[in-house]
């Protein structure tokens, strides 16, 4: 049976960037980051979640990729994004802004290219795990390649 590809996977394939796909069951409804880390058998320090926020000055959108056990520090995120203030967008707006839904939001392959910030803790990781763009699917990718493909900035983002 041929595996269905997500936008994120197609983008990585096109750029010849290698990744491993990890899958997990969503039957129990547990799709939070810590549950995902447990289900894919990886340490939470290696599994990252993707959050989308909007700046108060520019009204632009920003993507923040942080370890699943962390909480985004909005002040640090705003500083990184050079905004006076940022707020996470409502879950109901996620699909319209990114093309992805909650639990399946990848920093790769969004509808538009937004500035991406990855928490600085990732610099110590050879590989990290992010959403593949669909609930139940994760990508394990070399950290430096994720930074390159998303043109990300490493910054302190966690509380």
Q: Does pLDDT of 87 surpass 70? A: yes
| pLDDT average, residue stretch 28-49 | 90
pTM of the model: 0.94
Written as six digits, the tokens of 77 are: 């995120």
Q: Does pLDDT of 57 surpass 50? A: yes
Q: Does pLDDT of 22 surpass 60? A: yes
């Amino acid at each position: 049976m041929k595996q269905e590809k997500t936008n994120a996977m197609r983008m990585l394939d096109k750029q010849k960037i290698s990744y491993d796909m990890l899958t997990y069951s969503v039957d129990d409804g547990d799709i939070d980051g810590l549950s995902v880390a447990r289900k894919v058998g990886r340490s939470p320090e290696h599994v990252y979640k993707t959050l989308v926020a909007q700046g108060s000055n520019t009204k632009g959108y920003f993507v923040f990729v942080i370890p699943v056990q962390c909480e985004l520090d909005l002040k640090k995120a705003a500083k990184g994004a050079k905004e006076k203030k940022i707020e996470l967008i409502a879950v109901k707006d996620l699909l319209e802004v990114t093309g992805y839904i909650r639990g399946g939001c990848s920093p790769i392959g969004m509808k538009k290219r937004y500035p991406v910030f990855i928490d600085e803790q990732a610099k110590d990781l050879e590989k990290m795990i992010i959403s593949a763009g669909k609930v139940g699917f994760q990508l394990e990718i070399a950290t430096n390649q994720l930074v390159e493909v998303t043109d990300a900035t490493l910054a302190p983002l966690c509380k």
